[in-house]
Chains A and B, each alone.
Chain A
Amino acid sequence: MSIERTYAEINSRIKAGKAVVLTAEEVIERVREKGLSQTAREVDVVTTGTFGPMCSSGAFLNFGHSNPRIRISKVWLNNVPAYAGIAAADAYIGATELPEGDPCNTDYPGEFRYGGGHVIEDLVARKTVHLKATSYGTDCYPRREIETDITLDEINEAILFNPRNGYQNYNCAINLSGRTIHTYMGTLKPQMGNAHYSTSGQLSPLLKDPYFRTIGIGTRIFLGGGIGYVAWNGTQHFPGRLKDENGNDLNGAGGTLAVLGDLKQMKTGWLVGASFRGYGSTLTVGLGIPIPILNEEILALAAKTDDELYAPIVDYSDNYPNSKPGNLGVVSYAELKSGKIRINDKEIPTAPLSSYYKAREIAGTLKQWIEKGEFLLGEPSQLLPGPQAGLSGKTLSSK
């Protein structure tokens, strides 16, 4: 008889220190050795991980009130503007925001050495961050400006809230044009001189639960070195299926997650400001999700290997910037990770932008937390829309 488990059963085994936890890499080996049914009977949880640049990240901050009080209209943190149109002392610092007066791409390609992602990294490192705020003054909030220094421990709350993280799958980016281009997928050499990808493949959370059978609102996760939660589906959550040129169903395409957590308990090294030459700055986020092995079918998906998971190849010189649909075929993560792929009989060196090395460390850390009984699974109060929801992107048209 095939195994069935509940969240409550798994959590009671975690509390008793008896839960069997494997990383998404380790479970592949176990299934090879013992087969699916036996492994499903033995394993309670499979941990996943990903560590890559994730735009659509940021943090809500409440600075506390000054004396006299100020109703902040505009605020800058280390000269990087944060959005203050929320309340008197609340702001949202976005990962891709650039400092006031940044030369951007005026001297192309720009360097983008600092931005909102770096502010978040500095806060987590307990570095002093310079705050400047202005206002127009009201009877209840008379102050019109304040300039001071803050640290993460001196402000009321800091909630990392990333509206779109953990992309299920991502493009393998190439450049078909005759000049070097600078993109959020890194620097791409002309005439397919290199190919960049940005997914942890067989360790990637949403590639291992492609139908969203376990990940939903309230799922407890590893976020930025601490504990976080899945808050909702991410923006641009289009969890369709990737197909090859012959229409064969391959794997998940583009599901995303909105995640949140208390920034104060996150750790240095797991939220890292990143600069992409000629593009901008962002935040590299460490994210890991435990997949409860509720049944054999969930295990079968969680045990998919790099040679069973594929990325679409997309040209970033013309197709991507000009929103031309379609791709140049698909390539497996096993091929991408080998360091070279072939397109049109040309051998192309590949490189990741997401760190598989760190992704493995995240999956391993999450495994340890669960084994020690420090981390219980959060049962989702609602699962996220899966491929059958038929979600697809809308176009912003000029009218």
Chain B
Amino acid sequence: MAPERIVLRYSNDTADKPIIYKLVKDYDLIVNILKASINPHKEGTLVLELIGERYAEGIDYLRSQGISVHPLAQEVVRNNDKCTHCGACIVHCPTKALYVERPSMEVKFNEDECVVCLSCLKVCPVKAMEVRL
């Protein structure tokens, strides 16, 4: 069985909880951290590979802690024809893959920094951010 690739997003009140330790010790899961980031507001994003017999219980535990769990999509792309460079996405991007270049105030997207958390898809007013599966 191949490990599941998942994206976890947690808020500042969860940031200090030892969730990886719990996944390993209490649910006997094998964890491989692919990418991890935490912003100055202590909101975090983790991209994990996770495998083990008690996988489903581990996911339930994460959700019970208020952590959102999503499968890792292949990649997020920006539709440059649609983007209006407004900036509504900027503060919702946990890794600053989306950022404003100053002084031009052009919104840039650095795909290498993207952890595919999909936050930008939800907040983009013109639906310029798309998932490529």
Interface readout for B30-54 with A: 1 if CB under 8 Å, 0 if not?
0000000000110100000000000
Q: How far is the CA of A337 from the CA of B43 in the complex (A)?
A: 23
Interface readout for A109-135 with B: 1 if CB under 8 Å, 0 if not?
000010000000000000000000000
A187 x B41 contact (CB < 8 A)? no
What is the interface residue range for chain B against chain A?
Answer: 20 to 34
Please judge, given known A-B contacts A351-B91, A353-B87, whether A189 and B123 are in contact too, CB under 8 Å: no
A189 x B126 contact (CB < 8 A)? no
A353 x B125 contact (CB < 8 A)? yes
Q: How many residues of A contact B (CB 8 A)?
A: 33
Please judge, given known A-B contacts A196-B88, A274-B125, A358-B84, whether A347 and B40 are in contact too, CB under 8 Å: yes
Q: Does B85 contact A (CB under 8 A)?
A: yes
101-117 of chain B: CB within 8 A of chain A:
102, 104-107
Q: Which residue of B lies closest to A356 (CB)?
A: B105
Q: Does B127 contact A (CB under 8 A)?
A: yes
Please judge, given known A-B contacts A51-B84, A353-B87, whether A113 and B127 are in contact too, CB under 8 Å: yes
Indicate which residue in B84, B88, B91, B122 contacts A272 across the interface (CB closer than 8 Å): B84
B85 x A358 contact (CB < 8 A)? yes
Residues of A within 8 A of B85 (CB): 355-358
Interface readout for A274-289 with B: 1 if CB under 8 Å, 0 if not?
1111000000100000
B122 x A355 contact (CB < 8 A)? no
Residues of A within 8 A of B86 (CB): 51-52, 284, 352-355, 358
Q: How far is the CA of A336 from the CA of B86 in the complex (A)?
A: 14
B91 x A194 contact (CB < 8 A)? yes
B84 x A189 contact (CB < 8 A)? no
CB distance from B107 to the nearest CB of A (A): 7
Q: Does A142 contact B (CB under 8 A)?
A: no
Residues of A within 8 A of B67 (CB): none
B125 x A187 contact (CB < 8 A)? no
Residues of A within 8 A of B19 (CB): none
Indicate which residue in A51, A187, A360 contacts B122 across the interface (CB closer than 8 Å): A187
Indicate which residue in B43, B82, B105, B125 contacts A276 across the interface (CB closer than 8 Å): B125
Q: Does A312 contact B (CB under 8 A)?
A: no
Q: Does B100 contact A (CB under 8 A)?
A: yes
Q: How far is the CA of A273 from the CA of B126 in the complex (A)?
A: 7
Q: Does A193 contact B (CB under 8 A)?
A: yes
Q: How far is the CA of A187 from the CA of B91 in the complex (A)?
A: 10
CB distance from A22 to the nearest CB of B (A): 17
Residues of A within 8 A of B122 (CB): 187, 277
Q: How far is the CA of A338 from the CA of B88 in the complex (A)?
A: 15
Residues of B within 8 A of A272 (CB): 82, 84, 126
Q: How far is the CA of A279 from the CA of B83 in the complex (A)?
A: 20
Residues of A within 8 A of B82 (CB): 272
CB distance from A279 to the nearest CB of B (A): 10
Interface readout for B64-99 with A: 1 if CB under 8 Å, 0 if not?
000000000000000001101111111110000000
Q: How far is the CA of A272 from the CA of B124 in the complex (A)?
A: 12
Binding site for B on A (CB under 8 A): 51-53, 113, 186-187, 189, 193-194, 196, 269, 272-277, 284, 337-339, 347, 349-358, 360
Give 24 CB contacts A-B under 8 Å: A51-B86, A53-B125, A187-B92, A193-B43, A193-B91, A196-B88, A272-B126, A275-B125, A275-B126, A275-B127, A276-B125, A277-B122, A277-B123, A284-B86, A337-B102, A337-B105, A347-B40, A349-B91, A350-B91, A352-B86, A356-B85, A356-B105, A357-B104, A358-B86
Binding site for A on B (CB under 8 A): 40-41, 43, 81-82, 84-92, 100, 102, 104-107, 122-123, 125-127
